């Protein structure tokens, strides 16, 4: 899909991606599953670059779920090695492009070498301001909500929070990265139609785009096609079409969810 078809004033502020299909891509070619993970690394590189070029402010990649710990030990080890390799190899480009690396999840479960690589990337890029790149690692949406509830209960017991005044905004402040806006666009590759325990709280009003393209084949043109599709949709946030049309400018954050269709970095 030509980039010229994308309206720069309606680029989704936050794009989240469920990167699916690595194993099936490899098996279809008679290769071992890890070959698909290695091939998928190039897709990560290209999509990060494309998102930056298009003006996406936040990009969240579902890199490793809590459920993925149940995979064969050899596959988990290779996924950790590939993550470390990516962070090391791409750090210079992240600095050049002003990309800030962040992560969400139960990071304490990561191997020590992986935690060090993640922390190094986070620390080195923390002052960058052009785009935020979040890796969901050892992550589960339900677990994030449980962890938030635990923190909130502790603070309620200390008198920091009044349970009777609890609302959605207050609860959201206890999520892993509460300053990150909710995703506008959720992309899932690999011809699947599940959200797979990903950002369950945050995707309440996300536009969902699925594609049969397996993640190792996903490239800039596929991201552009998803954004073009997103821009053709009417985001109502529970309102009627007439209300949205009469609301005025794109990006009006008075709608439910507060994100509207905000643009840029």
Q: Which residue numbers are catalytic?
A: 20, 68
- Strands 14-18 vs 99-104: parallel, antiparallel or unpaired: unpaired
Taking the C-alpha atoms of residue 93 and residue 95, their distance in angstroms, rounded to an integer, is 5
The dihedral formed by the CA atoms of 31, 225, 221 and 86, expressed in degrees to the nearest 10:
-60
Residue 24 and residue 98 in contact, taking contact as beta carbons nearer than 8 Å: no
Taking the C-alpha atoms of residue 116 and residue 109, their distance in angstroms, rounded to an integer, is 12
Give the torsion sign (CA, 24, 28, 34, 40).
Answer: negative
Q: DSSP assignment, residue 98?
A: T
Please give the full DSSP string across 178-216, using - where no structure is assigned: TTSPPPSEEEE-SS----TTSSTTTTTT-EEEE-SS-GG
């Amino acid at each position: 899909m030509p980039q010229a078809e994308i309206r720069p004033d309606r680029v989704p502020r936050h794009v989240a991606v469920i990167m699916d299909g690595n194993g099936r891509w490899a098996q279809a070619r008679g290769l071992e599953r890890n070959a698909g993970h290695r091939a998928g690394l190039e897709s990560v590189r290209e999509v990060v670059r494309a998102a930056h070029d298009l003006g996406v402010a936040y990009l969240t990649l579902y890199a490793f779920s809590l459920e993925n710990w149940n995979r064969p030990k050899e596959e988990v080890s290779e996924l950790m090695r590939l993550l470390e390799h990516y962070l090391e190899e791409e750090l210079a480009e992240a600095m050049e492009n002003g990309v800030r690396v962040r992560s969400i999840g139960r990071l304490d479960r990561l191997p020590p070498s992986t935690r060090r690589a993640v922390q190094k990337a986070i620390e080195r890029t923390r002052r960058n301001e052009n785009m935020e790149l979040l890796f969901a690692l050892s992550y589960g949406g339900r677990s994030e909500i449980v962890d938030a509830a635990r923190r909130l209960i502790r603070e309620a017991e200390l008198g920091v929070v009044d349970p009777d005044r609890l609302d959605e905004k207050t609860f959201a402040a206890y999520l892993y990265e509460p300053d990150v806006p909710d995703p506008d666009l959720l992309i899932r590759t690999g011809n699947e139609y599940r959200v797979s325990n990903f950002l369950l709280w945050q995707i309440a009003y996300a536009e969902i785009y699925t594609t049969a393209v397996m993640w190792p084949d996903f490239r800039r043109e596929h991201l552009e096609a998803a954004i073009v599709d997103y821009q053709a949709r009417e985001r109502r946030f529970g309102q009627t079409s007439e209300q949205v049309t009469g609301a005025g400018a794109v990006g009006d954050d008075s709608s439910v969810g507060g994100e509207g269709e905000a643009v840029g970095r």
